[in-house]
Amino acid sequence: MTEPKPEDITHPPMDQLSGFEYCIDSNPSWGEAIVLGFQHYILALGTAVMIPSFLVPMMGGSDDDKVRVVQTLLFVSGINTLLQTLFGTRLPTVIGGSYAFIVPILSIINDSSLTQVTNPHERFLQTMRAIQGALIVSSSLQIILGYSQIWGICSRFFSPLNMVPVIALVGFGLFDRGFPVVGKCVEIGVPMLILFIGFSQYLKHFETRGLRVFERFAMLITITIIWAYAHLLTASGAYKHRPEVTQRNCRTDRANLISSAPWIKIPYPLQWGAPTFDAGHAFGMMAAVFASLVESTGAYKAASRLASATPPPAHVLSRGIGWQGIGILLDGMFGTGTGSTVSVENVGLLGVTRVGSRRVVQISAGFMIFFSILGKFGALFASIPFTIFAALYCVLFGLVAAVGLSFLQFTNMNSIRNLFITGVSFFLGLSVPEYFNEYTRTSQHGPAHTKAGWFNDYINTIFSSPATVALIVAVFLDNTLDYKDAAKDRGMPWWVKFRTFKGDSRNEEFYTLPFNLNRFFPPT
């Protein structure tokens, strides 16, 4: 066999990724789809448990309160996922809790009017109601930007070049949720990471009855093995005399979820009481809503490639953002303790399983709703040590980031202009949030520390989000730096056909609303 000549080695740009057996509108068998949906549900548990476990004790809540918040977050996540996949972007994306809301929520928790409440349970209820009020008011930002098509108009300033750092940092920006957490319990985290990569990649061609078991279900198989291993270590007393932080990250009996969970409990709106409204809290929360909007925009672009679909047109993107705003409104009504966004880890799982089916994600939403009502069963799965999820994140976040890098194929990376924009956007997108986070860790408050609390929350939240910083830098530079003569270098000839719904015939196949609703809401 002769060696290929350098000029013969070409990799032409591809609108859609290849190698997917099931894309957005094709479905595996019902049995396979149910197991894949359950896999997405298990993955969503990591964030659904981690955020309440961090916030509820600071609010004065007990283990019972934490369990109810976890159940509520899962219940509303299931509803929001169904709404998004049916009427929003229609991409196979799980809508879950967001870390972008942590800064303004901590500001509410530390509000002097709430810290003075002496009874812990009463302080929890009052804090939860204040968070609910802020979420309800701030959700209007995404609802207005979405349904007014303003965000769709803004997206006309996007190009493949400036979307690269935004999408990539949706994954790379979560690096602190990966190996730093794995390192807190290496005897569980490292074997989980090695097994997951080995099963999903090196053994992916293993088939039984025509089904690639390890490629499809590597996550479930490895979680089962390592969870059992972690339980054996716990039962054998391996952590009996270890430090508290080790026990919290390694033991399988430290979550206190199963004993505290009710057998059956249906979350309902205003279950914590009537929300309270404060203008400062609401304005501060709007910064988190905007950061969530930016992160979701990047995640939608990544999900479209991993579902083997075309990039969502401006109209579809705005529609999705509008429904996401309704999702945050539901978060506030039910009292999930945080706002919602696209779950980045579940987007990554589409690529690992090579199944981008919308039906699979809708089934996972059914599991979220079902197990949030049956508290004991849901709490059993939610007691998986978070270190196991962190090992998965090392792979899944990295895969989403790589999808962002794949957009470079549509640009000219032999251009100094493009290299400058890409490099500066990446560096500032990582460096600025790291400065804000490090400053907060050492000073117990963000760099913005004025008497105006809402202003502090705005600045500290926006600049703590890698994807948001990358968007601001990349879009500004790309649309001001020699932009008139750089359309081809930026990838605009390829990108422009996906700006409108009718720009590409495949859009109708992927993004048309169900139940013939396009008659009432015609796409533009």
Q: What does the radius of gyration of the chain's CA atoms come to, in whole angstroms?
A: 23
- The sign of the dihedral angle between the CA atoms of 81, 470, 168, 441 is negative
Instruction: Using the predicted structure, report yes or no on whether residue 92 has a pLDDT greater than 70.
Output: yes
Tokens read off for 442: 């050492």
For residues 415 and 489, give the distance between their C-alpha atoms in angstroms, rounded to a whole number.
7
Rounded Cα gap, residues 127 and 131, in angstroms = 6
Whole-number pLDDT of residue 159: 92
List, for residues 477-493, the tens digit of each pLDDT value.
Answer: 999 998 778 889 998 88
pLDDT of residue 374: 82
pLDDT grade, residue 497 (50/70/90)? confident
The pLDDT of residue 6: 66
254 pLDDT band, cuts 50/70/90, is low
pLDDT over 60 (residue 1): no
pLDDT at 238: 80
**Residue 241: its pLDDT value, please?**
78
Highest mean pLDDT among 76-80, 410-414, 442-446: 76-80
Q: What is the mean pLDDT of residues 492-504?
A: 83
Q: What is the pLDDT of residue 256?
A: 67
Cα–Cα distances in Å, from 310 out to 216, 228, 343?
23, 41, 20
Q: What percent of the chain has pLDDT over 90?
A: 64
Q: Reduced to 3 states, what is the DSSP secondary structure of residue 278?
A: coil
pTM, full prediction: 0.93
Residue 9's pLDDT is what? Answer: 62
Tell me, rounded to whole angstroms, the distance of Cα 271 from its chain centroid.
26
**Greater confidence, 513 or 352?**
352
What pLDDT is recorded for position 509? 82
**Spans of all domains in the chain:** 21-408
Q: What is the DSSP string of 75-142?
A: HHHHHHHHHHHHHSS-SS--EEE-GGGHHHHHHHHT-HHHHT--SHHHHHHHHHHHHHHHHHHHHHHH
Which pLDDT does position 520 carry in this prediction?
67
- 10 Å CB burial of residue 192 (0-12, 13-18, 19+) is buried
Q: What is residue 327's predicted lDDT score, i.e. its pLDDT?
A: 96
pLDDT at res. 398: 95
22: which strand partners?
A: 355
Averaged pLDDT for residues 197-216: 88
Give the mean pLDDT of the chain: 90
**Mean pLDDT (whole number) for 286-296:** 95
Mean pLDDT of 86-93: 94
Per-residue tokens: 181:
């957490």
Q: Using an 8 Å Cβ cutoff, are 426 and 470 in contact?
A: yes
| CA separation for the pair 319, 189 (Å, rounded) | 39
Rounded distance between C-alpha atoms, residue 106 and residue 141, angstroms: 21
Give the chain's length.
Answer: 524
Q: Taking residues 200-224, what's their average pLDDT?
A: 89
Q: Using an 8 Å Cβ cutoff, are 218 and 187 in contact?
A: no
Q: How many CA atoms lie within 13 A of 163 on its CB side?
A: 28
pLDDT value of residue 4: 67
Helix (H, G, I), strand (E, B), or coil: what is residue 341? strand
Structure confidence by residue, pLDDT tens digits, 41-56:
999 998 998 999 899 9
Return the pLDDT at 383: 78
Q: Which of 51-55, 198-202, 516-520 has the lowest mean pLDDT?
A: 516-520
